Amino acid sequence: MAIFIGLMGVILSACIHTAGSNQNIGLCAEDKCTVLGGQYCAECATPGEVPINGACIPIADPRTIASGCEDSAGASLGSSAQKCGFCRGENYFLHEGGCYSILFSPGNSICSNAVSGYCTACADGFFSNTVSSVTQCQACDTTCATCSGGTAQSCLSCQTDRFLVNNECKECSDQASTGIEHCAQCAQKSGTLTCTVCKEQYFLSAGKCASCASNCATCTSAKPEDCTVCVSKYSYDLATKACVQTCEEHASDQLNARQTCAPR
């Protein structure tokens, strides 16, 4: 997995559990790459390292100190600590054994507001699971944009490729659920579903998806001359106004938006 070092040395993306991957961060304990779909670490493999913004950092490191990571009793970390129990740093919150900042990724994709080391408002894609009056953010089902619970039946809004039906997000093209045939992205307003983007080889026409010309991937109408991109391995022939597999001998492939057969 790629590693990026952001502002103030905060790790932006990493869950490393094999030696030699990166010298700036430690190793995650086995089966503990569980945060945000396995991208970040919940518990470190090496005693004396704790998850800060999802990566394993030594307890004496300035990043750990800034987070205010403490043990579950609220005391200073011992030399064998491998996860956090409290986060006292400003704008930090506790999440799955680590301290995360709402100012940086990945913390800002989980929580939008933190008070006294706890998240008080979950970001879109997460829902609040209140335990002992403290908000814990848990991930929505992947089909949901926002939700009230972790199942596919608890969506409040959907990703752009789906629409809401009785708290479930159905694919825009799901005709069994009143979807629009060949629709890739859609919008729902006042109970009315509208297609905004059609699947490849289709274009929007009067709210529906109509077929492009033969071998055309994207177009503005069904007319061959309105093809904007041909399908893979095809080029647009200016003479015949069609997508062809091979340009004529007098022409060559000119690589542009629709890879045109251009005069030599």
Predicted confidence at residue 4, as pLDDT, reads: 32
Tell me the two tokens of residue 73: 């009793």
Same domain, 134 and 151: no
Written as one string, the DSSP assignment of 201-219 is TEEEETTEEEE-STTEEEE
Same domain, 149 and 120: no
Same domain, 16 and 110: yes
pLDDT tens across 149-202, in order? 889 999 999 999 999 999 999 999 999 999 999 999 999 888 899 999 999 999
Asked if the structure places residue 89 within a domain, the reply is yes
Of 161, 176, 198, which closes a domain? Answer: 198
Same domain, 183 and 246: no
Asked if the structure places residue 206 within a domain, the reply is no
Q: How far apart are CA 160 and CA 79, in angstroms?
A: 47
Number of compact structural domains in the chain: 3
Segments forming the whole domain that contains residue 174: 144-198
Strand partners, 172: none
Q: Is the pLDDT of residue 98 over 60?
A: yes
Same domain, 72 and 113: yes
Asked if the structure places residue 203 within a domain, the reply is no
- Listed in sequence order, the residues at least 6 apart from 178 whose beta carbon sits closer than 8 Å to its beta carbon are 165, 193
- Listed in sequence order, the residues at least 6 apart from 3 whose beta carbon sits closer than 8 Å to its beta carbon are 11, 13, 14, 16, 21, 22, 24, 25
Predicted confidence at residue 191, as pLDDT, reads: 81
Q: How far apart are CA 85 and CA 57, in angstroms?
A: 15
Same domain, 193 and 87: no
Instruction: Kindly report the length of the chain.
Output: 264
Alpha-carbon Rg of the chain, whole angstroms? 25
Same domain, 109 and 163: no
Q: Is the pLDDT of residue 3 over 50?
A: no
Q: Is the pLDDT of residue 62 over 50?
A: yes
Predicted confidence at residue 12, as pLDDT, reads: 37
Predicted confidence at residue 34, as pLDDT, reads: 78
